[in-house]
Amino acid sequence: MNTFSIGDAEIGGRRLFVIAGPCVVESAEMCVQVAAKMREACAARGLPYVFKASYRKANRSSGRSFAGLSGDEGLAALARVRRDVGVPVITDVHESHETQAAAEVADALQIPAFLCRQTALLEAAARTGRAVNVKKGQFVAPADMTQAVDKLVAAGANRILLTERGTTFGYGDLVVDMRAFSILRETGWPTVYDATHSLQRPGGAETGGDRRFALPLMRAALAAGADGLFFETHPDPARARSDAATQLPLAEAPHFLDEALRIRDALGDRAHA
* pLDDT value at residue 85: 98
pLDDT-derived band at 68, boundaries 50, 70, 90: low
Look up the domain containing 73 and give its range: 17-272
For residue 187, give the CATH number of its domain: 3.20.20.70
Nearest to 208 by CA among 156, 153, 247: 247
Q: pLDDT (tens digit, 9 = 90+) per residue, 201-260? A: 886 556 678 899 999 999 999 999 999 999 999 999 999 988 889 999 999 999 999 999
Q: pLDDT (tens digit, 9 = 90+) per residue, 72-125? A: 999 999 999 999 999 999 999 999 999 999 999 999 999 999 999 999 999 999
In a domain, 10, yes or no: no
pTM check: above 0.75: yes
* pLDDT value at residue 228: 98
* pLDDT value at residue 204: 59
Cα–Cα distance measured from residue 54 to residue 215, given in angstroms and rounded to the nearest whole number: 24
What mean pLDDT do residues 8-20 have? Answer: 96
Nearest to 20 by CA among 223, 245, 192: 192
Yes or no: say if 252 and 212 are a contact pair by the CB < 8 Å rule. no
CA distance between the termini of the chain: 10
* pLDDT value at residue 59: 65
* pLDDT value at residue 259: 97
In a domain, 12, yes or no: no
Please provide the DSSP assignment of 236-273 as one string: SGGG-SS-TTTPEEGGGHHHHHHHHHHHHHHHGGGGG-
* pLDDT value at residue 58: 66
* pLDDT value at residue 243: 86
DSSP conformation class of 24 = B
pLDDT-derived band at 140, boundaries 50, 70, 90: very high
In a domain, 148, yes or no: yes
Q: pLDDT (tens digit, 9 = 90+) per residue, 15-25? A: 999 999 999 99
Q: Look at residue 52 and tell me whether its pLDDT is greater than 90.
A: yes
In a domain, 158, yes or no: yes
Q: Residue 70 burial (CB < 10 Å; 0-12/13-18/19+)?
A: exposed
* pLDDT value at residue 145: 98
* pLDDT value at residue 190: 98
CA distances from 231 to 1, 71, 95, 149 (A): 23, 26, 23, 23
In a domain, 3, yes or no: no
For residue 244, give the amino acid letter.
A
Give the count of domains, the chain. Answer: 1
Residue 44 neighbours by CB distance under 10 Å: 10
DSSP conformation class of 95 = S
Cα–Cα distance measured from residue 95 to residue 82, given in angstroms and rounded to the nearest whole number: 23
In a domain, 11, yes or no: no
In a domain, 130, yes or no: yes
Cα–Cα distance measured from residue 35 to residue 87, given in angstroms and rounded to the nearest whole number: 8
In a domain, 8, yes or no: no
Query: Within 13 A of 233's CA, how many CA atoms are on the CB side?
Result: 29
Q: Which helix (H) or strand (E) holds 232?
A: strand 228-234
Cα–Cα distance measured from residue 222 to residue 257, given in angstroms and rounded to the nearest whole number: 12
Pairing of β 17-21 and β 9-11: unpaired
